[in-house]
Chains A and B, each alone.
Chain A
Amino acid sequence: MSIVDVRHLAVGYEGREILHDVSLSVDRKEVVAILGANGSGKSTLIRTVLGLVPIARGEIDLFETPQRRFRQWARVGYVPQRLGAGSGVPATVGEVVASGRLARRGIFRLPGAADRDAVRDALADVGLLDRADDPVATLSGGQQQRTLIARALAGKPDLLVLDEPTAGVDAASQEAFAASLRRFGDNGGTILLVAHELGPLRPLIDRAVVVHEGRIAYEGAPPEPAGHHAEPDHDHVHPHAVQPAAGICEWAPTDRMAAN
């Protein structure tokens, strides 16, 4: 059964065409990565699949229903690149994750025991159960990203769609992320994700699709990393992971005060 079926899709913004004649099919239990450079159109592709960007030409089916008539959005879990614009009003990790239940529950019903259990399970899955009552703004970038995957998992979706889930995420969170996705896949879930590079997600991927200049340039096994990513000592640990550096800065002035 095809979960996502994109046929001859074209998408444009203000007269400029970003995707030309893209076809892509994702089967049940498959894990598909869409790769490509910045500006290649890979994010536009999944945003169109999700209905956030209008279709110019072509067709998209979700769970074998034309996207226009698709209503079972609870079956789709979306993990955006980062936490929404946010604002001054604080929200706890638990509150953000609880909004993942709305698609299942509807907007008029009050949360019940099943909702609370699902939120707790999702938080436990990404290893943030002990942070449930903390404001999301106090979390690291990687933990915020895990909050977003917990929000998607809380809705018990059949398909997870992730937009650059590991961009700017520390190594520990990337591993936690990969483990969550692996469990989701093992339980029969389908995953479609966009990535700039795969890092620790690489072993999970069944099929990679490379988007280049709005067209599909490659489809098959995940390609070998190119450029400096391919160097033998490049272990995909990014500068963001170097958190102790920040710790030292915070700590140093106190140290000096103690010495005085």
Chain B
Amino acid sequence: MDLFQYDFMIRAMIGALIIGLAAPSLGIYLVQRRLSLIGDGIGHVALTGVGVGLLLNQSPVLAAVIVSAIGAIGVELIRERGRTSGDLALALLFYGGIAGGVVLVSLSDDASSNSLIQYLFGSLITTSPTDIVLIGVLGALVLIAMLGLRPALFAVCNDEEYARVSGLPVRTLNLLMAVTTAVTVTIAMRTVGLLLVSALMVIPVAAAQQVTRGFRGTMAAAMAIGVGAAGAGVIFSAEVDTPPGATTVILALALFVAIAVGSAAWRMMRRRSQPPREVEPPDVVLQKA
């Protein structure tokens, strides 16, 4: 395919594939503990980091990692306390994050709305060789942590109190997940943009879990779907000239719908081909006369 005669396309592809693999490996834990939207919130906070980076003439990616990690740890500490006001505190943090980002970016030398759009919706083809190295290293770290600690992270997400009684370092693991979320959001900022980051963490998991039976299988299937959607998104967007980030998300959603419809149809067919089950006579007295 002559699409890849350009270096920038190869870099775009590598970046997309790394994120397509890493985002669902973290996302499955977030979905499991009903924090599907946390990636979105951290994305808002990361924008403030981008603003700080641009204002100080430092790397926006590095600044975004630091600021969103601080934000993610803050969110985790609020969640841990389990107060009802946590929900409100999160909202304040997120809106503060995006408003702060917009203000800071506008104050910087690079104050075009173009640079803001780049971070909000992704800008895969402007990925530099240095960016790819950073995405590769951070993506590998995310994958190692999420795959290597799977039993422990599963235990914490599945039943936090049980994990605590087992003597697991629950707080450390939660903070690790918070920081990993921040890192994943920031590296994915290049591919899909801060506003669509969560989609790559959550949609592959949502698609996979419709047909899987176990956690391990769901994780593997979600990562496969993530990589597939990201790769196809880059090629498709180059062919029809659409933004790669949004195209990837639309493809992932299409896969979700296809799997949902397919599995429902399969279940229906199976039910119809099976003879009605014989019901055993009740062995308890349902009602006394």
Contacts and interface: CB of A to CB of B under 8 A. Distances in A.
B161 A80 contact: yes
B59 interface: no
Nearest to A52: B161
Interface in B149-180: 149, 151-152, 154-155, 157-169, 173
Interface stretch (A30-38, A224-232, A247-255): A247-255
A231 to B, nearest CB: 12
A248 B167 contact: no
A95 B148 CA distance: 16
Contacts of A83: 159
A205 interface: no
B167 A74 contact: yes
B251 to A, nearest CB: 21
Given A84-B160, A251-B276, A245 B168 contact: no
A242 B287 CA distance: 10
Given A51-B165, A244-B286, A88 B158 contact: no
Q: Which of B149, B152, B214 has the most CB of A within 10 A?
A: B214
Given A89-B209, A135-B213, A80 B159 contact: yes
B209 A88 contact: yes
Contacts of A244: 279-284, 286
Contact of B205 (A50, A89, A108, A251): A89
Contacts of B276: 251, 254-255, 258
Nearest to B215: A91
Contacts of A107: 149, 151-152, 168-169, 173
Contacts of B158: 84, 86, 91, 96, 99
Given A84-B158, A84-B160, A89-B205, A95 B215 contact: yes
A95 to B, nearest CB: 5
Contact of B152 (A78, A91, A102, A254): A102
B277 interface: yes
Interface size range on B against A:
35 or more
A98 B159 CA distance: 13
Nearest to B28: A89
Interface stretch (B31-39, B103-111, B114-122, B183-191): B31-39
A188 interface: no
Contacts of A16: none
A89 B32 contact: yes
A85 B169 CA distance: 20
A91 B154 contact: yes
Interface in A118-164: 133-135, 151, 155
A242 B282 contact: yes
Contacts of A108: 148-149
29 contacts: A51-B164, A51-B165, A71-B167, A72-B167, A78-B162, A84-B158, A87-B157, A88-B31, A89-B31, A89-B32, A89-B205, A89-B218, A92-B215, A99-B162, A100-B166, A102-B151, A102-B152, A102-B168, A103-B166, A107-B149, A111-B151, A133-B214, A171-B284, A244-B279, A244-B280, A244-B283, A247-B279, A251-B276, A251-B277
Interface of B: 28, 31-34, 148-149, 151-152, 154-155, 157-169, 173, 205-206, 209, 212-216, 218, 276-277, 279-284, 286
